[in-house]
Amino acid sequence: MIHETAIVHPTAELADDVEIGPYSIIGEKVKIGKGTSIGSHCVIDKWTVIGTGCQIYQYASLGPPPQHMQYKGEETSVIIGNNNIIREFVTIHRGTPFGNGKTVLGDENFIMAYAHVAHDCILGNHVVMASYAALGGHVEIGDHAIIGGIVAIHQYVRIGTYAFIGGATALTRDIPPYITASGMKVKFYGINVVNLQRSNVPAEVIKGLRKAYKLLFRSQLTMEEAIQKVHDDPAYALPEVKHMVDFIKGSKRGVTRR
Q: Tens digit of pLDDT for each residue in 111-153?
A: 999 999 999 999 999 999 999 999 999 999 999 999 999 999 9
10-residue averages of pLDDT along the chain (258 residues): 97 98 98 98 98 99 98 98 99 97 98 98 98 98 98 98 98 98 95 97 98 97 97 97 98 91
- Amino acid of residue 176: P
Q: Give yes or no: residues 112 and 206 share one domain.
A: no
Q: Residues for the chain: how many in total?
A: 258
Question: In terms of residue numbers, what domain contains 137?
Answer: 7-141
SS3 92: strand
Among 119, 141, 100, smallest CA distance to 45 is for 119
Instruction: Give the DSSP letter of residue 65.
Output: P
In this structure, the answer to whether residues 29 and 112 fall within a common structural domain is: yes
pLDDT at residue 258, as a whole number:
79
Q: Are residues 131 and 208 both part of a single domain?
A: no
Share of the chain above pLDDT 70, in %: 100
Distance CA 112, CA 30 (A): 23
Q: What is the pLDDT of residue 109?
A: 99
Number of domains in the chain: 2
From CA 182, how far away is CA 196, in angstroms rounded?
18
Q: Determine the pLDDT at residue 119.
A: 98
CATH value at residue 15: 2.160.10.10
What residues contact residue 96 under an 8 Å CB cut-off, 6+ apart? 66, 68, 70, 71, 74, 76, 119, 120, 137
Could you count the other beta carbons within 10 Å of the beta carbon of residue 3? 13
Rg (CA), the chain: 20
Assigned domain for 173 exists: no
- Last residue in a domain, options 98, 119, 141: 141
Strands (DSSP E) found in 63-175:
77-80, 85-86, 91-92, 102-105, 110-111, 116-117, 122-123, 128-129, 134-135, 140-141, 146-147, 152-153, 158-159, 164-165, 170-171
Phi and psi dihedrals of 154, rounded to 5? -65, 150
Residues with active-site annotation: 119-120, 137
